[in-house]
């Protein structure tokens, strides 16, 4: 339980860092850290397969997407960064406060689960569920990846031809 709590606090702080980090690159890295912590939480919650996916895809692939996208854009000049960060302090300082207040409120209200939780007896294999029970989702994913690949073709590749 204590380890869980520590992990959750780490996750929250990493997320906060992602929001408040000065440069985009740092924010992307902070996001990767959040993802990594989420991975550990998943392991703790007895979901190793999903955790592996989270680690490889979210921590790896999405961070790669972010970093490459950020590197394609021109970073702000130093003066702009200074101006932004002054501004940013004014805009962001109360985010942690709100988060803490919300957490305290939820803790004090003692929001309870007021329904009988179902207990699923048959603990099935993940692969079995994915390929047999939830086959439809797999087909949906295939179509989505197809659509996404067209999107990437349109949004990334053809733009070089425009030369802009």
CB 14 within 8 A of CB 34: yes
For 34, counting Cβ atoms within 10 Å of its Cβ (0-12 exposed, 13-18 middle, 19+ buried), the class is buried
For residue 59, state whether it binds another protein (rule: CB under 8 A).
no
Residue in 82, 85, 89, 132 binding another protein, rule: CB under 8 A? 132
Name the 3-class secondary structure at 98.
helix
For residue 65, state whether it binds another protein (rule: CB under 8 A).
yes
Intra-chain end-to-end CA distance of the chain, in Å: 54
Q: How far is the CB of 79 from another protein (least distance, A)?
A: 15
For residue 16, state whether it binds another protein (rule: CB under 8 A).
yes
Q: How far is the CB of 38 from another protein (least distance, A)?
A: 5
Residue in 3, 6, 57, 83 binding another protein, rule: CB under 8 A? 57
Sole residue written with tokens 């895809």? 57
CB 40 within 8 A of CB 11: no
Q: How far is the CB of 3 from another protein (least distance, A)?
A: 12
CB 35 within 8 A of CB 59: yes
Q: How far is the CB of 1 from another protein (least distance, A)?
A: 8
Q: Which of residues 69-108 bind another protein (CB under 8 A)?
A: 69-70, 72-74, 84, 91-92, 95, 98-99, 102-103, 106-107
Residue in 77, 78, 79, 162 binding another protein, rule: CB under 8 A? 162
For residue 67, state whether it binds another protein (rule: CB under 8 A).
no
Helix, strand, coil shares of the chain, percent, nearest 5, are 80, 0, 20
């Amino acid at each position: 339980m204590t380890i869980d709590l520590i992990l959750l606090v780490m996750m929250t702080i990493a997320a906060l860092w992602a929001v408040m980090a000065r440069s985009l690159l740092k924010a992307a890295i902070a996001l990767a850290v959040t993802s990594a912590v989420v991975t550990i939480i998943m392991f703790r919650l007895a979901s190793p397969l999903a955790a592996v996916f989270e680690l490889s895809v979210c921590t790896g692939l999405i961070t790669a997407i972010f970093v490459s996208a950020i590197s394609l854009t021109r970073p702000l000049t130093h003066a702009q960064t200074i101006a932004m960060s002054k501004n940013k302090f004014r805009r962001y300082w109360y985010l942690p406060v709100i988060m803490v207040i919300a957490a305290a409120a939820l803790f004090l209200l003692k929001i309870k689960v007021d329904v009988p939780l179902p207990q699923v007896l048959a603990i099935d294999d993940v692969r079995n569920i994915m390929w047999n029970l939830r086959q439809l989702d797999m087909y949906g994913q295939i179509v989505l990846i197809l659509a996404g690949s067209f999107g990437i073709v349109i949004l990334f590749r053809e733009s070089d031809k425009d030369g802009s």
